[in-house]
């Protein structure tokens, strides 16, 4: 059974358009509550959010939906997604809920969930929720309605957790850091973490208005960070996205390091991970496995193989010995810690990775179009693979949120990557 509402990372869309409407979100909270009560008499869930203005409305709708199903609610206010995952686990709660559209513009929003262990939930759980959405509501009577209260020390608890992942034998004293929180969920937390570990902190992207999240700042717009690092003579710059689970890093020379390069320290990547990372790891005798796109699938591979490190080129990095999900702040601390221990600069540490040029083209699909049955595309793909001759990659996959086909080609030569990607895109359109 295919999922109707859930994509690769929860339910997401434009606010005011289905399914991101208050009536649907109320129903969603009620349906999730019904699923939780199948195994627990009085569940308690934690709700955190980013800084979008629509978060107030959706938070109220979720709270009402949970209460109507007999589920208690704890509210954190703005808090990074990994902070919700951590507190759900630390407080032994039934479920963690995040209201966020991550790196999307402010007009979008979404809902994603974490298990009692602070992990992304499996497809089977999401299908159970979607089934419950189609069932008639089952309101509890007044004495059994859920209650809500605010968790006032949520931010402080999470700050202490982040600091605990950095060695107590090391300090950030002497480092000048630029922290860019994308006007998002990490705007209060991230500067404090690095300041309390001893760094001199310069903050940008830390003045949310409700409508400026990710606007010209953050992990999706690293040019603002590069400029600030250069202007302030900082040692490093750290950029998060709207919900602070992604990381982009800049060094003192203004050199940007994305998730693919930082993945060189790991051993699991997604289908989108640059081939240069795979080849560099193979040269050092390190196993590398590709998971499906989405950090939840990276986590599944890590758990299945008993590995600890993995992530995505977008900056979702998972260190299972530190956290159960991608965490931009914790990932930055691990990079700074590794650099401090190695005695090398970041550029020296990652000298083994020279990313292949990559060309990505999004092709809009017509209703009912079956791209897998396209013989022209199959023939073109064979030709392209022969041209790449093992020194490049082709990835064709449907978007999890839009009627698009993503056509990606990597090659050592940029012109060849562009040429091959365009040929494949033309075959899809034909």
Where in the sequence numbering do the catalytic residues fall? 102
For 42, half-sphere exposure in the C-beta direction (CA atoms, 13 angstrom radius) is: 7
CA distance 349 to 343: 9
SS (H, E, C) 263-282: HHHCCEEECCCCHHHHHHHH
| Residue from 314, 338, 50, 91 nearest 189 by CA | 50
> Is the alpha carbon torsion for 207, 208, 214, 216 positive or negative?
negative
CA distance 213 to 106: 6
Q: Give, in degrees to the nearest 5, the angle at Cα 353 between 352 and 358.
A: 165
> E strands within 2-150?
11-14, 44-49, 72-78, 95-99, 108-114, 148-150
Supply the DSSP symbol for 7: B
Q: With contact defined as beta carbons under 8 Å apart, do 35 and 6 qualify?
A: no
| Residue from 207, 154, 148, 200 nearest 181 by CA | 207
């Amino acid at each position: 059974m295919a999922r109707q509402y859930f994509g690769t990372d929860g339910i997401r869309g434009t606010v005011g358009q289905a399914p991101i409407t208050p009536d649907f979100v109320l129903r969603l909270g009620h349906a999730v509550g019904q699923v939780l009560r199948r195994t627990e008499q009085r569940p308690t869930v934690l709700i955190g959010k980013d800084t979008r203005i629509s978060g107030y409305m959706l938070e109220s709708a979720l709270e009402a939906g949970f209460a109507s199903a007999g589920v208690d609610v704890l509210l954190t206010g703005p808090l990074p997604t990994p902070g919700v995952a951590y507190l759900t686990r630390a407080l032994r709660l039934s479920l963690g809920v995040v209201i966020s559209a991550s790196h999307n513009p402010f007009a979008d929003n979404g809902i994603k969930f974490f298990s009692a262990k602070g992990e992304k939930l499996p497809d089977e759980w999401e299908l159970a929720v979607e089934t419950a959405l189609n069932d008639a509501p089952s309101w509890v009577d007044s004495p059994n309605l859920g209650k809500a209260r605010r968790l006032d020390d949520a931010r402080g608890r999470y700050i202490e957790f982040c600091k605990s992942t950095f060695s107590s034998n090391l300090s950030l004293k002497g480092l000048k850091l630029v922290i860019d929180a994308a006007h998002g969920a990490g705007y209060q937390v991230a500067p404090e973490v690095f300041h309390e570990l001893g760094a001199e902190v310069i903050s940008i992207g830390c003045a949310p208005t409700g409508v400026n999240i990710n606007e010209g700042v953050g992990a999706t717009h690293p040019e603002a960070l590069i400029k600030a690092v250069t202007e302030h003579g900082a040692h490093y710059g750290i950029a998060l996205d709207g919900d602070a689970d992604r990381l982009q890093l800049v060094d003192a020379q203004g050199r940007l390091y994305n998730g693919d390069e930082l993945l060189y320290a790991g051993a699991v990547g997604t289908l989108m991970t640059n081939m240069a990372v795979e080849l560099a790891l193979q040269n050092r005798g390190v196993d590398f496995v590709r998971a499906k796109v989405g950090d939840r699938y990276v986590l599944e591979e890590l758990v299945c193989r008993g590995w600890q490190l993995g992530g995505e080129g977008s900056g979702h990095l998972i260190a299972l010995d530190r956290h159960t999900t991608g965490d931009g702040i914790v990932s930055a601390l691990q990079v700074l810690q590794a650099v401090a221990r190695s005695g090398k600069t970041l550029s020296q540490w990652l000298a083994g990775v020279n990313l292949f040029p990559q060309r990505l083209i999004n092709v809009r699909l017509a209703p009912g179009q079956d791209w897998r049955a396209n013989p022209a595309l199959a023939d073109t793909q064979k030709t392209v693979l022969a041209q790449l001759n093992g020194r490049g990659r082709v990835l064709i996959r449907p978007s999890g949120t839009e009627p698009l086909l993503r056509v990606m080609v990597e090659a050592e030569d940029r012109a060849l990557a562009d040429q091959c990607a365009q040929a494949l895109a033309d075959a899809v359109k034909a």
